Amino acid sequence: MRHPLHTLNAVLTVALLALASISSALAETLVSAVSSSQVAITSNFTGTQILVYGEIARDAGTVARSDKQDVVVVVEGPLERVVTWRKDHIFGLWINATSQTYIAVPSFYAVHATDDLRNIASDDWLKQYRIGLEHLPLAALGTRAPAHERAAFKEAFLRSRVHQGLYTQNSKSINFLSSTLFSTTVDLPAIIPTGDYKVTTFLFNGGVLLDKQEQALTVAKTGFEQVTFTLSRQYPAVYGAMAILLALLTGWLAGVIFKKD
């Protein structure tokens, strides 16, 4: 059974979307871009930044709105499966005892906005578009733990990710260069996971989504790092043999160089 409010919301959303499409010729549209579509991880990679920028385009016929305009940028990394463990005091030792498994959580997640998220749109909007850390769908796999337990695990998971710099939420971090031009820099930490990223820019007006734009971003190891990694995954036997040979060679060289007699 769905909650009547949800049904109402859904109806409203459909109605709004229909309305938006009718009036799209008149409404503001969003144009956005990312400074580079590829982040290359090389041997001296210590993290980097990407610039997300864009323009709120108004055609001549658009009536200037009195409502507040807000832009939100979300950078999301490839999805992964994680386990959050909690240690318990067992036989006098602190041991990983209980765990919660989350499937399909983003390996990286950054949200930048022009204002506090709660001033931009309602929770329903934010939840629908996965905007904001607390709106990430973190459903634990097959758990029968009580709600407060699940919340504690979720909080611990988010805390750990924020601490590592993999999850960030920065309200008021998007600068307007003019009334229509905006830009923000997103920090990509050194430990950033590789894969296909999605950069989504949202335009809200008075709590209503007007437009959204999506760009792809690839984070990949290049050159030696990429060759090494690929070798270790696709030809592990060759990789292992090479590691052993390298070690033997180094040992032998050391023996020759530092020979005493």
Give every CB contact of residue 5 below 8 A, 6+ residues apart in sequence: none
Query: Distance (Å, rounded) from C-alpha 201 to C-alpha 74?
Result: 6
Binding to another protein by residue 243, rule CB under 8 A? Answer: yes
Q: How many CB atoms within 10 Å of residue 172?
A: 11
Stretch touching another protein by CB under 8 A, among 120-128, 176-184, 199-207, 231-239: 231-239
Binding to another protein by residue 107, rule CB under 8 A? Answer: yes
Judge contact between 91 and 112, C-beta under 8 A: no
Token pair 């323009």 is at which residue?
Answer: 55
Torsions phi, psi for 205 (to 5 deg): -135, 115
Among 1, 2, 94, 142, binds another protein (CB under 8 A): 94
Q: E-assigned strands of 173-228?
A: 175-176, 181-188, 195-205, 208-221
Binding to another protein by residue 95, rule CB under 8 A? Answer: yes
Among 93, 142, 144, 178, binds another protein (CB under 8 A): 93
Instruction: Give me the 160-199 binding string for another protein, x by CB under 8 A, dash otherwise.
Output: xx----------------------------xx-xx-----
Hey, which residues does 111 pair with through a beta bridge?
Answer: 74, 169
Stretch touching another protein by CB under 8 A, among 53-61, 143-151, 175-183, 232-240: 232-240
Positions that interact with another protein (CB under 8 A): 41-47, 80-89, 92-96, 99, 101, 107, 153, 156-157, 159-161, 190-191, 193-194, 221, 224-226, 228-229, 232-234, 236-237, 239-244, 246-248, 250-255, 258-259
